[in-house]
Amino acid sequence: MTEILPPTQDGVEQAAALLRAGELVAFGTETVYGLGADATNAEAVARIFEAKGRPRFNPLICHYPDAEAAFAHVVAGAQARLLAEKWMPGPLTLVLRRRTECPVALLTGAGLDTLAVRVPLHPVALALLQMVGRPIAAPSANLSGQVSPTTIEHVLDGLKGQIAAVLDSGPCRQGLESTVLDLSRRWPVVLRPGALATEELRQMLGRVDAGETPGAAPRAPGMLASHYAPRLPVRLEAISAGPDEALLAFGPPLPGAGAVFQLSERGDVLEAASRLFAGLRWLDSEGRRLGLRGIAAMPVPDEQLGHAINDRLRRAAAPRG
Ligand code: TXA
Ligand code: MG
């Protein structure tokens, strides 16, 4: 059952309570409707991927009530602060390096060292974000491969019955997603053109590069610089493990490994998804500390979120250039 909540104090309070309890709530912004979850709760974030039917873990945008709250979680330099004065709130998403103490789940950023942050320019969304008091991870509230929703009818068409509630925020004014600007590299790069024109950014920053064309053929798997790959080699579909290997376990662990990280003892793909990136990172550092030669990953069923887990593991195991 998906509840439709009105844009009143009461509706916003109910939406906030659901989000804090780890439920999914769609809400409107000035660009498109977002499918929100508590970004610090990895299982809630895993549920976003499940509900959207995403075949892989794309990094999600984290929404905040103001720039100050966002910059408590990421490292903002002079350019980020300058842009924030004008465009936070606004249709601009900034990709910045995570702070070490950042409480956002690794799954939210698909395991990357960076995080995309945004402050929506919409009174209901801002009231909700203030009320929740936690960052909200939200991709567009549509099924994977369908167009972004700009009304609650669009949201319900795709996600009715799969999410706890929709906060009715009226139709979205812009109808086009936010512009995603990466400030974590040497030069600012527009990763996704959107509601804020690149020219406006150039006027403020000078040099701004256009990123990889959306939809262009991806480079060799595992080679995308922006994707986290463990430094230890990864072996897939392991049915045995040696003392010189670190084991990524799913279900009852194989005996004999030099180190073990359990994705889900009970063999639950949602739990496994929520622990995947933390597990890869831990095994990589622990394995190297112990002088192990690689990571052995036990098979994960290729169903529901298992698809996305296997996609990520295949890329981690692909030969490096
Ligand atoms: O207008 C919007 O941006 C909407 C509303 C709901 O805020 N959100 C949205 O999210 O469009 P989504 O998940 O559909 O698109 C997020 C985009 C993707 O292209 C993703 O690859 C990029 O942002 N992104 C997120 N985090 C990133 C990161 N750390 N590094 C690079 N790209 C990132
Ligand atoms: Mg989208």
Q: Which domain CATH number covers 282?
A: 3.40.50.11030
Same domain, 27 and 110: yes
Please check whether residue 63 is in contact with residue 33, taking contact to mean a CB–CB distance below 8 angstroms: no
Name the residue of 45, 60, 63 whose CB sits within 8 Å of the most ligand 1 atoms, as the mutation to test its pocket.
60
Determine, yes or no, domain membership for 24.
yes
- For residues 89-104, give the mean pLDDT: 98
Return the amino acid letter for 169.
S
In the structure, what pLDDT confidence band is assigned to residue 211 with cuts at 50, 70 and 90?
confident
Same-domain check for residues 93 and 41: yes
Q: Where are the alpha helices (DSSP H) in 8-122?
A: 9-20, 42-52, 67-71, 78-87
Q: Which residues contact 285 (CB under 8 A, 6 or more apart)?
A: none
Region 274-300 average pLDDT: 97
User: How many Å apart are CA 97 and CA 296, to the nearest integer?
Assistant: 29
Separation between Cα atoms, residue 84 and residue 197, nearest integer Å: 15
Beta bridge partners of residue 25, listed in sequence order: 36, 165
Please state, in angstroms and as integers, the Cα–Cα distance from residue 4 to each residue in 53, 125, 153, 208, 211, following that order.
22, 15, 11, 41, 38
Q: What confidence tens digit (pLDDT) does each residue in 234-272 have?
A: 999 999 999 999 999 999 999 999 999 999 999 999 999
Q: Residue 48: give the domain boundaries.
A: 3-210
304: left (phi over 0), alpha (psi -120 to 50) or beta: left
State if residue 31 touches ligand 1 by the CB under 6 angstroms criterion: yes
Helix axes 198-205, 78-87, angle to 10 degrees: 130
Give percent helix, percent strand, percent coil of the chain, each to the nearest 5.
30, 20, 50
Atom of ligand 1 nearest to the CA of 115: 29
Same domain, 256 and 155: no
Average pLDDT over residues 37-50: 98
Ligand 2 centre from 8 Cα, in Å? Answer: 27
Claim to verify: residue 121 and residue 180 sit in the same structural domain: yes
Q: Among 48, 58, 102, 115, which is best to mutate for testing ligand 1, by the most ligand atoms less than 8 A from CB?
A: 58
Is residue 18 assigned to a domain?
yes
238/171 same-domain check: no
DSSP state of 132: H
Do 98 and 136 lie in one domain? The reply is yes
- Per the CB < 8 A criterion, the answer to whether 182 and 188 are in contact is yes
Q: Is 32 in the pocket of ligand 1 (CB under 6 A)?
A: yes
Q: Does residue 112 have its Cβ closer than 6 Å to ligand 1? A: yes
Instruction: State how far the Cα of 289 lies from the Cα of 120, in Å rounded to an integer.
Output: 42
Q: Are residues 262 and 157 in the same domain?
A: no
Asked, for residue 171, whether it belongs to a domain, the answer is yes
pTM of the model: 0.93
Tell me which of 177, 210, 243 is where a domain ends: 210
Distance 297 CA to ligand 2 centre (A): 30
* φ, ψ of residue 127 in degrees (nearest 5): -60, -40
Cβ neighbours, 10 Å, residue 280: 26
Q: Which atom of ligand 1 is nearest to the CA of 174?
A: 1
Residue 58, ligand 1, Cβ within 6 A: yes
Q: Specify the higher pLDDT residue, 141 or 229.
A: 141
Cβ of 8 below 6 Å from ligand 1? no
Distance CA 252, CA 267 (A): 8
Clarify whether residues 150 and 252 are in a common domain: no
Instruction: Tell me the per-residue pLDDT of 4-41, one tens digit each, with 9 for 90 and over.
Output: 999 999 999 999 999 999 999 999 999 999 999 999 99
Q: Are 79 and 193 part of one and the same domain?
A: yes
CA of 244 to the centre of ligand 1 (A): 39
Sheet bearing 165-167, strands edge to edge: 3-5, 165-167, 25-27, 34-38, 136-137, 61-63, 114-118, 92-97, 179-182, 189-192, 209-210
Long-range CB pairs of 155-161 (<8 Å, 24+ gap) are 155/26, 155/33, 155/35, 156/2, 156/4, 159/2, 159/26, 159/35, 159/51, 160/2, 161/1, 161/2
> Ligand 2 mean position to 157 CA, how many Å?
16
Pairing state of beta strands 245-250 and 259-264? parallel
**Residue to probe by mutation, ligand 1, list 27, 63, 74, 93, most atoms within 8 Å of CB:** 93
177 CB near ligand 1 (under 6 Å): yes
Is 272 close to ligand 1, i.e. is its CB under 6 Å away?
no
Given 159, 177, 210, the domain boundary residue is: 210
Q: What are phi and psi of 286, to 5 degrees?
A: -65, -45
- Based on the domain organization, do 52 and 152 belong to the same domain? yes
- Distance spanning both ends of the chain, measured CA to CA: 48
Q: Is residue 251 part of a domain?
A: yes
The mean of the pLDDT values for the chain is: 94
Same domain, 174 and 84: yes
Considering the domain boundaries, does residue 273 fall inside one?
yes
Pocket test for ligand 1, best of 45, 49, 61, 115 (most atoms within 8 A of CB): 61
DSSP-assigned letter for residue 53: T
> Which ranges in the chain belong to alpha helices (H)?
9-20, 42-52, 67-71, 78-87, 123-132, 152-159, 198-205, 269-289, 305-317
Instruction: State how many domains the chain has.
Output: 2
Greater confidence, 186 or 238? 238
Q: Is residue 217 part of a domain?
A: no
Ligand number nearest CA of 112 is 1
Question: Do 187 and 262 belong to one domain?
Answer: no
Ligand nearest to the CA of 138: 1
Judge whether 52 lies within some domain.
Answer: yes
Residue 277 within any structural domain of the chain: yes
Ligand 1 and 246: CB distance under 6 A: no
Q: What's the pLDDT score for residue 223?
A: 39
Q: Is the CB of 264 under 6 A from ligand 1?
A: no
